[in-house]
């Protein structure tokens, strides 16, 4: 479990990162949300698109979840994928298009190609 997690906004990333929420690249020079913390005694850090972070926070509030334990990453969330796609499309269209690209007949989020920093 998470011992602690902190997050801060970055105005421009220096290098490309993979967004933990959607699995898509955050291009170098883009704003991002940087998370760091301790999970089961190990230090971890990750990056998120600012839009994905906002959508994830809103989704937690929608579902009444407030801890990191209760809500998986957006790409991994069963309820979001099956019950709240319309909500995401309406409220967070940028994130919706990252998770459920229009070119895919049977939308399924792509798993991140890498985890961590």
Q: Which residues bind Zn ion (CB under 5 A)?
A: 19, 21-22, 49, 52
Q: Which is nearer to Zn ion, 38 or 68 (CB)?
A: 68
Q: How far apart are CA 101 and CA 95, in angstroms?
A: 10
Q: Which is nearer to Zn ion, 22 or 88 (CB)?
A: 22
> CB–CB of 20/35 below 8 Å?
yes
Q: Which is nearer to Zn ion, 21 or 46 (CB)?
A: 21
Q: How far is the CB of 55 from Zn ion (least distance, A)?
A: 8
Residue 109 DSSP class: P
Q: How far is the CB of 21 from Zn ion (least distance, A)?
A: 5
Q: How far apart are CA 12 and CA 32, in angstroms?
A: 7
């Amino acid at each position: 479990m998470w011992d602690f997690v902190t997050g801060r906004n970055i105005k421009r990333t220096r290098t490309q990162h993979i967004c933990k929420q959607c699995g898509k690249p955050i291009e170098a020079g883009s704003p991002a949300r940087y998370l760091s913390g301790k999970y089961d005694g190990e230090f971890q850090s990750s990056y998120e698109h600012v839009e994905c972070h906002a959508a994830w926070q809103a989704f937690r509030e929608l579902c009444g979840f407030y801890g990191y334990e209760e809500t998986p990453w957006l790409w991994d969330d069963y309820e979001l994928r099956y019950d709240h796609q319309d909500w995401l499309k309406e409220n967070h269209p940028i994130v919706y298009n990252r998770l459920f690209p229009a070119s895919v007949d049977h939308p399924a989020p792509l798993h991140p190609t890498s985890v961590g920093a």
